[in-house]
Structure 1
Amino acid sequence: MIAALVLGAMVLAPLRAGAEGILVFAAASLKTALDEVAMGYQQETGKNVTVSYAASSVLARQIQLGAPADLFISANVDWMNVLQDQGLVEAASRVDLLGNGLVLIGGAGQSDLGAMQPDVDLSSALNGGYLAMALVDAVPAGIYGKAALQSLGLWQGVQGQIAQTDNVRAALALVATGAAPLGIVYRSDAQVEDRVRVVAEFSSQLHPPIIYPAAVTTGAPENARAFLAHLQSETAAVVFKKQGFALPNG
């Protein structure tokens, strides 16, 4: 894993040096919305924005290893805290950019399970298959999902039926392709894939708040701050809300 992270950092290194714009490291769940926001920003300003998507844990570790990110957007506060404590992001620039929710998804023919409750027989609903989730001890979506299942008392019964993936979009893909009957993803992820449907929702009380903090990295160019400001604009807010994200003000 360390070798892969180092290689990833080395591959990304030329991106900052050869681009007039900025390099953004962003949680995989942001891809559809952030691609649209970045494209609009480039058309408006003429400045290039390159975005590298992966699990927040992977991106944070790459930054620790020297990857040349100018702006980091995490899917949870913990990984941002790690980088802030190490002086790798500018604390003064940090903002809580977005929020999200958790849902249980299935294929197009999957029956509704309603709100997730302790009496839901999730193991039987899997019908011998696996529950797709991002890595439950490292990736934010997986961490939130595990916490929600533990709060419901359901984790013990399904932990042997979990198909863990590198990031939440990979978990989404397992359900979309039929490789897994059910999966736990963010609400925003479910909106971008026509081959899945939401079969149950998790109350926000079941897991820690889902917050996407954003901050420029230490020594980042001024245009990174300009793009971070754009991410907080009404123009960007329209896109994020359309894609299922929540804004800091609710």
Structure 2
Amino acid sequence: MTRAALAMIVAAGVSLAAPVAMAQDVLVLAAASTKNAVEKLATQFKAKTGASITSSFAASSAMAKQIENGAPADIFISADLDWMDYLQKRNLIKTDSRVNLLGNELVVVVPKGATVKPDLSKGGRLAEQLGDGRLATGDPSNVPVGKYARAALETLGQWTAIEPKLARADSVRAALVLVSRGEVPMGIVYRTDAAIDPGVEVAAAFPPDSYPAIVYPAALTATSQSGQAGAFLDYLKSPEGMAVWKEFGFVPAPKAP
């Protein structure tokens, strides 16, 4: 079975009983918000080294669970610390390879051309502004963007009013699509996601102190057998790699307090 076929199985949510040894190509399971950047980085890395990178993208929670269930993977990139911690506690990553790679920002997006200005003040009127519509974001029970969104809304005293109006998507990109198609009037996503979809625009940014710092950790999995996996992880955090992340709107990971 090829890595590409395995990536399709992982993306479809099918659990594999045990990791399967492959050749020198690298399989990356990554947070949905990293898709465009990782694909460009993979293309550049292949041009430099000849090594093929096969990537699969979904919510960090889904990717972590796939690794836990034995899906083959070489590198995991999470959109929060919690899901990397989840794998580390189960000895499913190579701890010495773990690195805090990136940061991001939480924003409210609306369909392109919409005139609403989301009220993100303390005790604000965001729920009223939705009217009969819903607010799309990742499911706060497990999807990182939804967890950040809940934290921000709780800080602003707006969570209780907003919760019944949530459209709980299975990833940040799924939430983005709901807004882009005009199926909901607002969504909470990362600034990097807003930048890649011409069907939306950023209507407001959450105060930085209203939610935990967004950190994207990356690590080699414990079962990685690819000789190129470590090299690709190094490339992701190299100056050349960081230039690509910056191109897509990511920032360096915030420093630990």
**Given the two structures, how large is their TM-score scaled by the length of structure 2?**
0.89
Q: Which amino acid aligns with 2:66?
A: Q
1:124 aligns with 2:128: yes
| Residue 25 of structure 2, aligned match among 17, 21, 28 | 21
CA distance 1:52–1:6, change in 2 (3 Å): closer
Q: Which amino acid aligns with 1:152?
A: L
Provide the aligned length of Structure 1 versus Structure 2. Answer: 245
The separation in 1 between residues aligned to 2:162 and 2:119, in whole angstroms, is 18
CA distance 1:163–1:239, change in 2 (3 Å): same
**Residue equivalent to 1:37:** 41
1:243 aligns with 2:248: yes
Structural mapping, 1:148-159, within 5 Å? 148-159=152-163
State the identity %. 41
**Unmatched 5+ residue regions in structure 2?**
1-9
Structural mapping, 1:81-160, within 5 Å? 81-111=85-115, 113=117, 116-160=120-164
Q: Which amino acid aligns with 1:9?
A: S
1:226 aligns with 2:231: yes
CA distance 1:81–1:93, change in 2 (3 Å): same
1:5 is displaced (CA, Å) by: 9.2
**SS of corresponding position for 2:45:** helix
1:117 is displaced (CA, Å) by: 1.3
Q: Which amino acid aligns with 1:227?
A: F
**Residue equivalent to 1:167:** 171
1:179 is displaced (CA, Å) by: 0.5
**Residue equivalent to 1:10:** 16
Deviations 1:147-194 (A, max 9, x none): 100100011111111000100000000000001110000010000000
**SS of corresponding position for 2:216:** strand
More helix by share: 1
CA distance 1:242–1:5, change in 2 (3 Å): closer
**Unmatched 5+ residue regions in structure 1?**
none
**Given the two structures, how large is their TM-score scaled by the length of structure 1?**
0.92
* C-alpha contact (below 8 Å) 1:97/1:212 kept by paired residues: yes
Structural mapping, 1:188-203, within 5 Å? 188-203=192-207
**SS of corresponding position for 2:76:** strand
* C-alpha contact (below 8 Å) 1:231/1:237 kept by paired residues: yes
1:234 is displaced (CA, Å) by: 1.3
1:6 is displaced (CA, Å) by: 9.7
The separation in 1 between residues aligned to 2:12 and 2:180, in whole angstroms, is 31
1:137 is displaced (CA, Å) by: 1.0
The separation in 1 between residues aligned to 2:105 and 2:199, in whole angstroms, is 19
**Residue equivalent to 1:67:** 71
* C-alpha contact (below 8 Å) 2:24/2:228 kept by paired residues: no
**SS of corresponding position for 1:83:** helix
Structural mapping, 1:173-192, within 5 Å? 173-192=177-196
Q: Which amino acid aligns with 1:28?
A: A
Deviations 1:77-112 (A, max 9, x none): 111111111111011000000010100000112225
Aligned alpha-carbon RMSD (Å): 2.1
1:57 aligns with 2:61: yes
Q: Which amino acid aligns with 2:150?
A: K
1:236 is displaced (CA, Å) by: 1.3
